[in-house]
């Protein structure tokens, strides 16, 4: 018997064509199927990194923070040297209101992969939220260096620099953010505030 794409039996793929009905009539039944398959994979092989990571990502998209953290933590335990898993766990900790846990995860990701744009950007964001603007500026600067056309990285770098009193450099980065994205509201508002404060 042959199954799969080379099967001569058209019923061999029937299970992929049958989609479960979502509880919400507007939900995409493919997501429910993907989640069911991911849960099955986790149950079948609890040591499967990809199964835990993928399930966590699906749960995170739905806003199920506690379950998201559980599966990202398991993925992180299985592959502690995976920078993307460390970064993703950090984002879940941010959502859960655990900035210190998030900071550690982002630092772990950067220890593993120093050129991880998202980890630099996320770490800068959490540090800025804790009013640690000098450190935040370091990470926004690294993020902007890795992705020079990222308006958000430039705007946040400018904002962090403004908070540390580096007004001229802050203005330069806010202007750069507006060159990249002319309708960037944070950059525009902060630049106007800095310009108005100097008059």
Q: Which domain holds residue 193?
A: 119-199
65 and 106 assigned to the same domain: yes
Are both 123 and 195 inside the same structural domain?
A: yes
Residue 24 lies in a domain: no
Does residue 198 register a pLDDT over 80?
Answer: no
- Is 21 among the domain residues? no
pLDDT by residue (tens digit) across 125-181? 999 999 999 999 999 999 999 999 999 999 999 999 999 999 999 999 999 999 999
Would the pLDDT of 120 be above 90? yes
3-state secondary structure 158-170: HHHHHHCCCHHHH
Tokens encoding 56: 């966590």
Closest C-alpha to 123, from 112, 138, 113: 138
User: Domain check: are 70 and 142 in the same one?
Assistant: no
Verify that 104 and 49 share a domain, yes or no.
yes
102 to 24, 29, 94, 127, 159: CA distances (angstroms) = 33, 32, 6, 10, 21
Domain CATH for 180: 1.25.40.10
pLDDT(6) > 50:
no
* Residue 47 sits in the same domain as residue 92: yes
């Amino acid at each position: 018997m042959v199954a799969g794409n080379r099967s001569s039996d058209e019923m061999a793929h029937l299970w992929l064509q049958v989609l479960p009905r979502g509880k919400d009539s507007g939900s995409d039944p493919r997501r429910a199927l993907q989640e069911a398959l991911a849960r099955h994979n986790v149950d079948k092989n609890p040591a499967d990194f990809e199964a835990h990571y993928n399930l966590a990502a699906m749960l995170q998209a739905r806003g199920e923070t506690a379950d998201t953290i559980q599966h990202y933590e398991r993925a992180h335990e299985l592959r502690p040297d995976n920078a993307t898993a460390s970064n993703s766990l950090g984002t879940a900790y941010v959502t859960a209101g655990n900035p210190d846990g998030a900071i550690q995860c982002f630092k772990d990701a950067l220890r593993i992969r120093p050129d991880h744009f998202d980890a630099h950007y996320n770490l800068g964001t959490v540090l800025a939220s804790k009013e640690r603007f000098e450190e935040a500026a370091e990470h926004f600067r690294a993020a902007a260096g890795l992705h020079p056309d990222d308006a958000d990285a430039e705007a946040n770098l400018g904002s962090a620099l403004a908070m540390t009193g580096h007004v001229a450099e802050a203005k330069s980065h806010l202007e750069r953010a507006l060159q990249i994205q002319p309708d960037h509201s944070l950059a525009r508002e902060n630049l106007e505030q800095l310009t108005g404060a100097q008059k």
